[in-house]
Structure 1
Amino acid sequence: MKEQVLGVDVNTENYDELIPKLFANIDAEKKSLVVAINPEKLMKAKEDPELKALLNRAEFQIPDGVGVIIASKLQKGNIKSRVTGVDTMDRIVREAARCGKSIFLYGAKPGVADAAASKLIETYPDLIVAGTQDGYEQDTQKVIDTINEAKPEILFVAMGSPKQELWIEQHRDNLYPTLYQGVGGTFDVLAGNIKRAPAAFQKVGAEWLYRLLLEPTRIKRQMNLPKFLFEIIRQNK
């Protein structure tokens, strides 16, 4: 099920409801794209019709951000819990290891995808990593050929949003994988290059605050949250 937040579709499922749907699509060979929806992205989409259309064309839009939960509550919606991009990737990888589906990691600086893959295999020994490719290869056809030769069911793309979603949408008809997710900086988190917020911050949906404490220059970006909530209140008067 989905509801709209500022004109963008957002899935209402939690992890336990979402993952079976993703893997059912794999089994049915139905290509699917997972995009993460947060207040910053919604505010950009409000001013950018092309971005809004791109987000709405995805098969799954996960509520990645406490602001989206608050917005749903304010408009009496059904989104009850955050479904973050990094945790969705982890849940997908866990299920892939369980049922024998293979993954491919594409993006980030040279060596990062390899390090992330090693960490995933360390966590999930049964996981099949069909291959990796850094994001610095300039020959797009070579990247496509590398992925297709590996024949993974699942492709994770780490380019930053919306570049990664645009790349997936542009090329997925010519790619072997069935399930696609743009994962931003998640490879760097897995590789240990970027530290994720402590569990206490994650639990209350305050990872944004942790990042702000580490990088005060992010304050301009974080101002999108109060602007976003004001816009939600204004539209629901």
Structure 2
Amino acid sequence: MKNEQYMGVEVSPLSYDEITDQLKTRVQAGEQSTIIAVNPEKIMKAQEDATLRDLINGSTFQIPDGVGVLLASRLKGGQVRSRVTGVDMMDHLLKLSADQGYRVFFYGAKEEVVSKAIENIQAKYPAMQVAGYDNGYVQDQEALIEKIQGSKADVMFIALGSPKQELWIRENKDRLPVKVFQGVGGSFDVFAGHVKRAPAPFRKVGMEWFYRLATDPKRFKRQLALPKFLFKIVTKK
């Protein structure tokens, strides 16, 4: 299926399984792939930030993380059938890595967060091979690059926040053996158990944003991007 485009920003209308199937093929072919999460807030920011727009559109897979993207696709008769969240995409990649024998490198977050996340992930997927890790406060980037090169990692998760993590991927991927890169934002905190996700019923109906707002009212300003985005989608000719 072809990508859909909303306000100049690409979105992949693929499911978790379709993405992982394509990734397996691309890894076997020695091709590098990048995954970036797309939501209404990011699309709105991309209207004024050409670098962010280029980072999104230059990725291999632009996953529809926000419910607003799903609604926009339905309003426009698109093919996006469900959200593909960053944290769940990471979980699918972890399972794929365990099944296929891919080596995984983790970079970002605080030391206690990334180390605990890896501990919990290994408990869930004992067969997964950890190629290495480093926290997000490492100063010597050249030493980090050499460490990743020596790790022979196939998959890499970068948790530096967006767009910093995507800029890091673009700047360094050609020097690395890694075949699959995903910027995962705060997902290490979730796997470490430091951040609780919305209960399953909220996630199932696409209301995770409402749960986050209810439990953290400071997010109100950020959540305004959703109605602004949908208004532009509806009124755009």
TM range (shorter): over 0.9
> Does 2:87 correspond to 1:86?
yes
Query: Where in structure 1 are there 5+ consecutive unaligned residues?
Result: none
In structure 1, distance between residues paired with 2:170 and 2:52: 12
Q: CA deviation at 1:111?
A: 2.3
Q: How does 1:1-150 map to 2 (within 5 A)?
A: 1=1, 2-150=3-151
In structure 1, distance between residues paired with 2:19 and 2:6: 19
Identical aligned residues as a percent: 50
In structure 1, distance between residues paired with 2:59 and 2:108: 20
Structure 2 partner of 1:165: 166
Q: Deviations over 1:57-111 (max 9, x none)?
A: 1111000011001101111111111111000000011011011111111000112
Q: CA deviation at 1:26?
A: 1.1
In structure 1, distance between residues paired with 2:211 and 2:222: 14
Q: Which amino acid aligns with 2:101?
A: G
Q: CA deviation at 1:203?
A: 0.6
Q: CA deviation at 1:185?
A: 0.3
In structure 2, distance between residues paired with 1:27 and 1:156: 19
Q: Which amino acid aligns with 1:108?
A: A
In structure 2, distance between residues paired with 1:150 and 1:114: 17
Structure 1 partner of 2:155: 154
Q: Which amino acid aligns with 2:169?
A: I
In structure 1, distance between residues paired with 2:232 and 2:125: 42
Q: Secondary structure at the match of 1:22?
A: helix
Query: Where in structure 2 are there 5+ consecutive unaligned residues?
Result: none
Structure 2 partner of 1:194: 195
For the aligned residues, what is the CA RMSD? 0.9
Q: Which amino acid aligns with 1:95?
A: L
In structure 1, distance between residues paired with 2:199 and 2:78: 29
Structure 1 partner of 2:215: 214
In structure 2, distance between residues paired with 1:17 and 1:59: 13
Structure 1 partner of 2:226: 225
In structure 2, distance between residues paired with 1:29 and 1:5: 31
Query: How many residues in Structure 1 have an aligned counterpart in Structure 2?
Result: 236
Q: Secondary structure at the match of 1:47?
A: coil
Deviates more, 1:78-87 or 1:47-56: 47-56
In structure 2, distance between residues paired with 1:206 and 1:23: 31
In structure 2, distance between residues paired with 1:33 and 1:165: 9
Q: Secondary structure at the match of 1:9?
A: strand
In structure 2, distance between residues paired with 1:54 and 1:34: 10
TM-score by length of 1: 0.97
Q: Which amino acid aligns with 2:28?
A: D
Q: CA deviation at 1:170?
A: 0.6
Q: Secondary structure at the match of 2:4?
A: strand
